[in-house]
């Protein structure tokens, strides 16, 4: 399954929650993605001024996808631990 399809599924799942909660989740994901991009730029010794707005937005969008994916996998692992299922 492609990442785009997974994100669409995640968005559909989030529709069953109150709007204020979903907005708060997206805000947290965005902040975490921005922090990751800033960290990556710092490691590569680049500044945000080296990129235009569209490039920065694309970098942040990619990181948002990764953050959402990691949240989903973390939730799945926690569920498996609670159920006592060991897949490792």
Asked if pLDDT for residue 79 goes beyond 90, the answer is no
14-20 contacts at long range (C-beta below 8 A, 24 or more positions apart): none
pLDDT tens column, 24-71:
888 999 999 999 999 999 999 998 888 999 999 999 999 999 998 888
- Helix, strand, coil percentages (3-state) for the chain, rounded to 5, are 80, 0, 20
Band of residue 80 on the pLDDT scale cut at 50, 70, 90: confident
Tokens of 60: 């942040």
Domain ranges within the chain, ordered by starting residue: 3-83
User: Given this model, what pLDDT does residue 49 score?
Assistant: 87
Q: Model's pTM, two decimal places?
A: 0.71
- Gap between the Cα atoms of 87 and 34, Å rounded: 32
Where do we find the tokens 């979903």? 22
pLDDT tens column, 2-36:
666 766 777 777 778 788 888 888 899 999 999 99
- Gap between the Cα atoms of 46 and 53, Å rounded: 15
User: Given this model, what pLDDT does residue 29 score?
Assistant: 92
């Amino acid at each position: 399954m492609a990442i785009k399809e997974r994100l669409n599924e995640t968005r559909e799942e989030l529709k069953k929650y109150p709007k204020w909660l979903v907005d708060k989740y997206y805000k947290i994901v965005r902040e975490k993605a921005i922090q990751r991009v800033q960290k990556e730029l710092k490691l590569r010794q680049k500044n945000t001024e080296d990129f235009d707005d569209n490039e920065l937005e694309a970098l942040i969008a990619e990181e948002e996808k990764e953050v959402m994916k990691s949240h989903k996998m973390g939730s799945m692992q926690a569920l498996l631990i609670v159920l006592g299922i060991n897949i490792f």
